[in-house]
Amino acid sequence: MKLSVRQIVISGLLGAISIVLGVTRLGFIGPFPGVLAVSATILHIPAILGGILEGPVVGLLVGLIFGISSWLQAPSEAPPANLWFSNPFVAILPRLFVGVAAAYIYMLLRKSNEWLALVSASVVGTLTNTVLVVGALILFGYVPAAVIIPAVLPNAIAEVVVSVVIVLAVVAAWKGLSIGKNKGSTV
Amino acid sequence: MEDLELMRHITIGQYLPTGSAVHRLDPRTKLIGIGLLILSIITISSVGGLMALLVVIIGLVLLARVPLGFALGGLRPALPVLIIIAILQLLFGWGASADLVCPDLWSFWIFKITGCSILTVIAMLLRLVALILLTGMLTMTSTISELTHGIEKLLRPLQKIGFPSHELAMVFTIALRFVPTLAEELEKLLKAQVARGADIRLGANPIQRIRHFLPVLIPLFLTTLRRGELLIEAMEARGYTGSVGRSHYVQLQMTAKDGLALLLVFGLVVGLIFIPFIVLDAKFLLLLAQLTGQ
């Protein structure tokens, strides 16, 4: 296996965005009222974008960087995240699949409809993150399913909405697709 | 506006060239040594053991001639969170110990503070300080490029089975290299939006916060992608072809000192894991029990 310069550079830069948003805590959109302190995040969005723009390998690499930084950051997170994410099987492993899933969904649907492909890729990518992380938590017996699933639901919905908006806006601007009333913008 | 000084709080990759013995070690030695010490942080569960470990780590920091206050700088932004975790953990008494007898100190309604919950909180704080010092040490005593050479060399045997170790090292280097650059970029974008009345503080109305954050995030992604195109062009123009036929300007050389350092760290870690420091914890609990008259 050999990586191209493009794959190396884009993976590194998108990974850097994930690290910066995590370290500055700007990437956490905060728990919604009445929810356990499991913070909704946008840190997985670089992995989705990597998968969509450059394919599954870049998606995997960005996910890897996201996972490692989330694992290393875990000790300074608020509880219960600090206890859960200190486990690399919760912090790193699920994140490897985020960009890969998004990439394959996008490749599958792109031929029929670009917009549908983008929306589905960001929804599937986000849910991959949520479902696999929550699944790992339940599997390790950290928290009973009956507690975590209703607690995580509002955050999952918020994450899906935010990631669809960001992915659409970024990909449309980057690829020069026409979007919205003004038929997109050029950057 | 003080919240926006993001650059100050990021402690990844602050190289401090003091030229100490630790600085001069081979990066592979440092990576393996720190890996072993992190393993011992995870393995050791007694407060006594963690204290001994922290003493060892502080010794290493001093050996590297890194000012302790500087090494602990990364803790300051986490302080409020740390205090909240400590209080929560204290109140809900997570982590009862199976081997120790826990004297009850105080209880009210569902809250209960026992000797063991105090020990758990202390252990957690010690672990955090130890981890922050260790990760800080790694980046203060070795430049990012040294570390990447080290990682590449450590992973090189895997290249025989087709694993792109050189490329992976390059991805990590680029990611780490661009963290400060992107933080600066983010700071600029945030200031521009805050000047226009955006409210992106944590704890603000989440929906509002996301709406105000979008005009920061989208340009961040786009400028980063554009930066990527420039970097790709620059690397291709200089004939970057990955690991194939690539020689290294830096030739890493393990010396006797590296062997000695590894042996020392290995010995310390094994010692710390197998010396029964848990006895100290038990003594502490006994003392507490006597003090509270149980």
**A23 at B interface, C-beta within 8 A:** yes
What is the CA angle A90-A55-A156, rounded to 5?
40
Average pLDDT of the residues in A129-147: 77
**A127 at B interface, C-beta within 8 A:** no
Q: Which two tokens stand for residue B149?
A: 């050479």
- Residues A10 and A50 sit within 8 Å (Cβ to Cβ): yes
Lowest-confidence segment of A124-138, B76-90, B139-153, B193-207 by average pLDDT: B76-90
B93 pLDDT more than 80: no
Q: Give which of A6, A13, A171 to mutate to test B binding, by max B Cβ within 10 Å.
A: A13
Residue B29, CB half-sphere, CA atoms under 13 Å: how many? 22
Specify the pLDDT at position A18. Answer: 93
* Residue B232 to residue A173, Cβ atoms within 8 A: no
- Residues A44 and A125 sit within 8 Å (Cβ to Cβ): yes
* Residue A173 to residue B9, Cβ atoms within 8 A: no
H-type alpha helices, chain B = 6-9, 27-43, 47-63, 68-71, 79-92, 115-141, 144-159, 165-195, 206-237, 256-274, 278-291
Q: Which of B80, B57, B65, B67 is nearest to B3 (CA)?
A: B80
Q: Which residue of B has its CA nearest to A155?
A: B206
Domains and CATH numbers, chain A: 5-29+37-175 (1.10.1760.20)
* Residue A12 to residue B222, Cβ atoms within 8 A: no
Q: Give which of B81, B139, B210, B214 to mutate to test A binding, by max A Cβ within 10 Å.
A: B210
pLDDT band at residue A34, thresholds of 50, 70 and 90? very low
Tell me which chain A residues have a C-beta less than 8 angstroms from the C-beta of B94. Answer: 83
pLDDT band at residue B221, thresholds of 50, 70 and 90? very high
**A2 at B interface, C-beta within 8 A:** yes
* Residue A16 to residue B12, Cβ atoms within 8 A: no
The string of pLDDT tens digits covering residues B168-194 is 888 988 988 898 889 889 989 988 988
Three-state secondary-structure class, residue B14: coil
**Complex ipTM:** 0.90
Average pLDDT of the residues in A34-41: 61
| Of the partner residues B94, B182, B228, the one whose CB lies closest to the CB of residue A10 | B228
Q: Which two tokens stand for residue B145?
A: 């490029």
- Residues B172 and A3 sit within 8 Å (Cβ to Cβ): no
Residues 151-170 in A contacting B (C-alpha not used; CB under 8 Å)? 158, 162, 165-166, 169-170
Tell me which chain A residues have a C-beta less than 8 angstroms from the C-beta of B226. Answer: 187
Alpha carbon distance A71, B62 (integer Å): 27
Lowest-confidence segment of A62-71, A111-120, B197-206 by average pLDDT: B197-206
**A11 at B interface, C-beta within 8 A:** yes
- Residues B150 and B28 sit within 8 Å (Cβ to Cβ): yes
Residue B85: C-alpha distances to residues A81, B5, B93, B121 (Å): 11, 25, 12, 8
